[in-house]
Structure 1
Amino acid sequence: MLPVHERLAELWVLRNCRGLTESEKTDMEHCLAVNASFCRELAHLKNLSLLASMTEDSDWQHDICSRIEKLSRV
């Protein structure tokens, strides 16, 4: 889990308890943008891994899988 995910959860709870301040709204927009970028990159790597598998390129697939693991450990 990225620190941005923790902040996003915190902001979601605050939003449900009270209205967010302008600074918190800006934080939430930033967190959502970072989350979308993270998800897009992970999905891209998973698609590349599938392609590597379909073309039976095991070296490429291992490289992609290691990139997925690094991204997922963050």
Structure 2
Amino acid sequence: MLPAHHRLAEIFQENLKGPLTEELFIELQHCLKANADYCLDMNFLNNQLIQARRTKDVKWETHITAQMDWLRRTGKVVMQ
């Protein structure tokens, strides 16, 4: 889980108490963007992983799973 996901949960809890301040609303937007980027990147890699497995390309599969692990830990995609 990324720090943005933790912060998103915290902001959600604040929102349950009442309307968000402008600062928290802006932070919420940043967290939502980080989450959307993460989901899109993970989906892209997952689609590549499916293709690697279908073609039985073990080297490609290993590379993609390493990229997915890195994305899970850092929130960033390694482009090579």
TM over 0.5: yes
- Equivalent-residue separation in structure 2 for 1:15 and 1:6 (angstroms): 14
Q: SS at the partner of 1:12?
A: helix
Q: Which has the higher helix share?
A: 1
| Residue 57 of structure 1: aligned partner | 57
| Residue 24 of structure 1: aligned partner | 24
After superposition, give the CA deviation of every residue in 1:11-60 in whole Å (9 maximum; x if it has no partner): 10000101100111010011001000001101111110000111111111
Q: 2:4 is aligned with what amino acid?
A: V
Report the number of matched residues.
74
- Equivalent-residue separation in structure 1 for 2:69 and 2:22 (angstroms): 36
- Equivalent-residue separation in structure 2 for 1:7 and 1:18 (angstroms): 17
Structure 2 gaps of 5+ residues are: 75-80
Identity of aligned residues (%): 35
Q: CA deviation at 1:73?
A: 2.7
Structure 1 gaps of 5+ residues are: none
| Residue 69 of structure 1: aligned partner | 69
Q: TM-score, structure 2 length as denominator?
A: 0.87
The list of structure 1 runs, each at least 4 consecutive aligned residues, that deviate by more than 6 angstroms after superposition, is none
Q: TM-score, structure 1 length as denominator?
A: 0.93
